[in-house]
């Protein structure tokens, strides 16, 4: 079992084509946006470590994930693009890479949704493309709630 780090409050609401259900699921996470640029610093991002290809985000260290709509941005093992982990509802969680599928910039997470600052691609809360030039959805990682933690398969 592993859990880590600092603090983050971020949210994504209001993307052009976010469904009502997605908005409802995201509604409780309104707070400071995570400011991201291509290679720029991400406010509130937490550095976390995986073990055996699994990332374990305990609710004690990541209390946002204990409630629907809560979310955190993490960087796994100090490398690669950050990942957005979100508690969708009581039973579901999601984990999305924030690497834009167009040319690899870091997707920005804000109250306006998921948007790439480089060429304007936008993504739904589920990671699907809502506006190009990106054509492929954001990479999704298998994630589940187990006891008092969110488990994400990263390897
Ligand atoms: S790298 Fe994201 S839109 Fe081009």
> How confident is the model at residue 99, as a pLDDT?
97
By DSSP bridging, strand 108-110 and strand 83-87 are unpaired
Domain boundaries, the chain: 20-153
Gap from CA of 114 to ligand 1 centroid (Å): 12
- Sheet containing 122-123, strands listed edge to edge, beginning at the edge strand earlier in sequence: 108-110, 113-115, 122-123, 129-131
> How confident is the model at residue 29, as a pLDDT?
38
Q: Using most ligand atoms within 8 A of CB, pick from 38, 101, 105 the residue to mutate for ligand 1.
A: 105
- Would you write out the chain's pLDDT as a tens digit for each of its 155 residues? 333 333 333 333 333 333 444 333 343 333 333 444 444 557 779 999 999 999 999 999 999 999 999 999 999 998 888 999 999 999 999 999 999 999 999 999 988 889 999 999 999 999 999 999 999 999 999 999 999 999 999 98
- Selecting from 2.60.40.10, 3.40.50.1000, 2.102.10.10, 2.40.50.1070, what CATH number does the domain 20-153 have? 2.102.10.10
Gap from CA of 106 to ligand 1 centroid (Å): 8
> How confident is the model at residue 41, as a pLDDT?
58
Q: Whose CA is nearest to atom 1 of ligand 1?
A: 103
């Amino acid at each position: 079992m592993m859990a880590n780090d600092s603090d983050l409050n971020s949210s994504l609401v209001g993307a052009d084509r976010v469904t009502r259900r997605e908005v409802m699921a995201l509604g409780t996470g309104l707070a400071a946006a995570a400011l991201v640029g291509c290679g720029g610093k991400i406010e509130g991002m937490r550095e976390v470590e995986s073990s055996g290809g699994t990332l374990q985000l305990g609710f004690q260290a990541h209390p946002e994930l204990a409630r629907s709509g809560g979310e955190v941005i993490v960087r796994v093992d100090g490398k690669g693009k950050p990942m957005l982990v979100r508690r969708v509802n009581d039973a579901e969680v999601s984990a999305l890479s924030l690497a834009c599928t167009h040319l690899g910039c870091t997707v920005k997470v804000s109250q306006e949704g998921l948007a790439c600052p480089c060429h304007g691609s936008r993504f739904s809360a589920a990671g699907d493309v809502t506006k190009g030039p990106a054509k492929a959805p954001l990479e999704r990682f298998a994630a589940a709630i187990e006891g008092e933690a969110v488990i994400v398969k990263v390897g």
